[in-house]
Amino acid sequence: MAAAPLSAQSLADRVARAPDGTVHVTYAARAGVCGNGAGMISFDCENGTCGRHRITTNSDWDDDTPCACDSGPVRLALQVTNGHVTRLRSYVGGHWKPAAAGVTDVGTVAAPEAARFLLDLARTGNGRASEEAIFPATLADSVTVWPDLLKIARANAVPSHVRNQAVFWLSQAAGEAVVKDLKDLVDDDNVDRDVREHAVFALSQEPHDVGVPALIQIARANKDAGVRRKAIFWLGQSNDPRAISLFEELLTRP
């Protein structure tokens, strides 16, 4: 039977069929994401300049062409062996250098399909690629990924280092719904303590008007003393007067 035309193949199929080496994938970045095409990705670009909220990645690789600051696209370099992704590098902006031997470029794909591929890799892949797939999934345009990140965080079958990455990037999603889900994750005794403690940290990164009340509830009522201590620690870093009031309450409790 003849293989399906490329336009009918999913991204996962195209990656699985690629020869061993590097596979390049390109897709649209969500609004507010920019980068220099090399080792820097930022979330608050203005006037053609990458903002202060930035992440540095991939600075030791030579498969990218840097630019000053660009709003996209997202570019992935997947290391593929026997049809499986073993490592992953992500960039925003710039463009690929001319393809060398051992490089397969699948071109531009729809951002939601790229996000699905990456989230599936996070859930089912092996090694570092699973952890590395979380971040670029959050960069995709026209898709809401935080419900999937929550599912990954709750999945005991997924390695804890991948789940912790999911919790971290879940914390970057704005909105009270995300705070509630993080709080529920902390309170779920079926979730590993390490993941719940990462969720406490994630709450500490939320805006104080929503994060601090959630941490106070955890410090007061969570069944796990270790988790309560984590909440108290991060409240101590908040410089929020509500945290001071809680400490006074705890210290004067009979």
Any domain includes 153: yes
pTM recorded for the entire structure: 0.78
Q: Are 124 and 154 contained in the same domain?
A: no
| 143, 159, 189 - which closes a domain | 143
The pLDDT value recorded for residue 2 is 44
Instruction: List CB contacts of 147: < 8 A, sequence separation 6 or more.
Output: none
* CB-neighbour burial class of residue 187 (10 A; exposed 0-12, middle 13-18, buried 19+): middle
pLDDT band at 70 (very low <50, low <70, confident <90, very high): confident
16-25, 33-42, 70-79, 217-226: the lowest-pLDDT one = 33-42
Yes or no: say if 77 and 132 are a contact pair by the CB < 8 Å rule.
no
Average pLDDT over residues 157-178: 82
Distance of CA 216 to CAs 105, 142, 231, 232, 241, Å? 50, 35, 7, 8, 12
The pLDDT value recorded for residue 62 is 47
Q: Are 91 and 122 contained in the same domain?
A: yes
Q: Are 121 and 206 contained in the same domain?
A: no
Helix and strand totals (H; E) in the chain: 11, 9
Identify the bridge partners of residue 91 per DSSP, sorted by sequence position. Answer: 75
| 110, 143, 176 - which closes a domain | 143
Mean pLDDT for the chain overall: 86
Minimal CA–CA distance to 29: which of 141, 118, 131?
Answer: 141
Any domain includes 2: no
pLDDT band at 1 (very low <50, low <70, confident <90, very high): very low
Q: Are 77 and 188 contained in the same domain?
A: no
Any domain includes 122: yes
The tokens 């840097």 sit on which residue?
66
d(CA 107, CA 241): 52
Average pLDDT over residues 83-111: 92
Q: From the CB of residue 132, how many other CB atoms can be counted at a distance below 10 Å?
A: 24
Is the pLDDT higher at 54 or at 228? 228
Phi-psi region of 235 (alpha: psi -120 to 50; beta: other; left: phi over 0): alpha
Per the structure, how many domains does the chain have? 2
Minimal CA–CA distance to 138: which of 28, 30, 38?
Answer: 30
Both ends of the chain: CA-CA distance in Å?
77
Domain ranges, residue 127: 8-143
The pLDDT value recorded for residue 31 is 86
Is the pLDDT higher at 132 or at 60? 132
Tens digits of residue pLDDT in 18-59: 999 999 999 999 988 888 888 788 876 666 666 556 676 654
Q: Are 195 and 129 contained in the same domain?
A: no
| 97, 122, 143 - which closes a domain | 143
pLDDT band at 174 (very low <50, low <70, confident <90, very high): low
Average pLDDT over residues 111-129: 94
Phi-psi region of 60 (alpha: psi -120 to 50; beta: other; left: phi over 0): alpha
pLDDT at residue 196 tops 80: yes
Yes or no: say if 50 and 69 are a contact pair by the CB < 8 Å rule.
yes
Identify the bridge partners of residue 23 per DSSP, sorted by sequence position. Answer: 78, 104
Yes or no: say if 43 and 32 are a contact pair by the CB < 8 Å rule.
yes
Longest dimension (CA), the chain: 77
* CB-neighbour burial class of residue 217 (10 A; exposed 0-12, middle 13-18, buried 19+): middle
CATH of residue 149: 1.25.10.10
Any domain includes 179: yes
Average pLDDT over residues 138-142: 95
The pLDDT value recorded for residue 72 is 86
The pLDDT value recorded for residue 40 is 81
The rounded Cα 210 to chain-centroid distance in angstroms is 21
Q: Are 217 and 123 contained in the same domain?
A: no
Any domain includes 44: yes
